[in-house]
Structure 1
Amino acid sequence: MSVSHSESKGLRERKKMQTRLAIRREAFRLFTEQGYAETTIEQIAAAAEVSPRTLYRYFGVKEALLLSDDHISPTVEAFANAPRHLSYVQAYHHAVNEVYGALSPEEREDAIAGQQILYQVPEARGLLYTAYLTLADLLTEALLRRPDGPADEAERRVMAGAIMGVLILTAQDTPLPEAAMDRALSILDSRLS
């Protein structure tokens, strides 16, 4: 029995995701036991049973272990492709619910663990700030694909910044703050309507 190309691609993607989760899980365990600064890439790789080279291929730098960027692109795509009758704030809310609602229990646990440590590690604050700016830039561009997204870049940046403000304020020290984010986005949407 042969495996189709799509089945083998699906298997490869699942194996990659499992490897990423295993590396992050071991990194989080070691960060908790030893401290972030005291934990080396070599220790993480050994604990996850991968080579340091494999770890670098998946994450690039140690700080990137704390921030799972696996959800950024799907969130931006879901935002751009959200139902056209939704306002841009509602579209972002829809996108977050779609992407994070589809996480497996293991993926959800991984995202929460990474965010909890991220907020505790001073060395990673710059990475978090950069991730917020990257998401704001991506939302600014995605607004061009929304029917209510203005052509003026400054206006799109302000809209993306307003959404990022909600994200920053609700997520600070609170991983996956679904209820708080739902409420904050509803407030933003009602005030902008």
Structure 2
Amino acid sequence: MWERKRAKARNAIQREALRLFADRGFAATTVEQVAEAADVAPSTVFRHFPTKQDLLVLDGYHPLLVPLREAFAAQPAERTALQALRGALAAVFAAMPDAERAARYERDVAMVTIPELWSANLGLVAKGMDAIADLVAERSGRAPDDARVRGLARVVSGACFAALLDWSRNPEGDPAQAIDEALSHITDPPPL
């Protein structure tokens, strides 16, 4: 219970920080402004994020890896790795409560539009691509370091980031649909 409450407080602080970074820029935003927006004391912000730069690291902020793995495993066996990834992403986004989904979209758009956020999370991006490669490898019976597996994982990741970037410039419709539309233009490499 305590850990869940701590995670909720941490997410609330980070969400306000991301909003301020998007509105004012990272350099122009102070920890005091983040604390005020989150309705907490600055010491509470520092308890969760020892430095202002720590507010940029998104590894615990609305992660998708666990639900994506579960949804991927639930995909029909006859689907290709790419089809299973599309189905899993659609299932994960459809299952999210509206508030969580909105926070996730804000997070992802901030990551592709705020340079400091992007650079602080390059390790997270690489981890996500490796996770996709692991799923593709599992489905295809190939090794995660197989060139075709890694290539497909990178193409899928790139298409998702491009769809989010396009959506951030013209936020009409649903980002999950934009991602699915982008992935629909990718073809499976044989025999994945």
TM-score by length of 1: 0.73
1:167 counterpart = 2:160: yes
1:22 counterpart = 2:15: no
1:180 counterpart = 2:190: no
Contiguous gaps of at least 5 residues in structure 1: 1-8
CA distance in 2, matches of 1:47, 1:19: 13
CA distance in 2, matches of 1:135, 1:65: 12
Paired residue type of 1:183: E
Q: Percent identity?
A: 28
Paired residue type of 1:95: A
CA distance in 2, matches of 1:185, 1:63: 28
CA distance in 1, matches of 2:131, 2:15: 28
31, 34, 37: which one aligns with 1:41: 31
CA distance in 1, matches of 2:165, 2:60: 14
1:77: Cα distance to partner? 3.9
Check the 8 A contact 1:116/1:173 in 2, yes or no.
no
Contiguous gaps of at least 5 residues in structure 2: 169-173
146, 160, 172: which one aligns with 1:153: 146
Check the 8 A contact 2:62/2:104 in 1, yes or no.
no
1:16: Cα distance to partner? 4.2
Q: Greater CA deviation, 158-167 or 31-40?
A: 31-40
| Matched residue, 1:6 | none
C-alpha RMSD over aligned residues: 3.2
| Matched residue, 2:92 | 99
1:125 counterpart = 2:118: yes
Check the 8 A contact 1:80/1:143 in 2, yes or no.
no
Q: What secondary structure is seen at the aligned counterpart in 2 of 1:188?
A: coil
1:185: Cα distance to partner? 1.9
Q: What secondary structure is seen at the aligned counterpart in 1 of 2:64?
A: helix
CA distance in 1, matches of 2:61, 2:103: 9
Residues 119, 155 of structure 1: alpha-carbon distance in 2 compared, 3 angstrom cutoff: closer
TM-score by length of 2: 0.73
Q: Tell me the number of residue pairs that the alignment of Structure 1 and Structure 2 aligns.
A: 181
Check the 8 A contact 1:30/1:44 in 2, yes or no.
yes
43, 48, 64: which one aligns with 1:55: 48
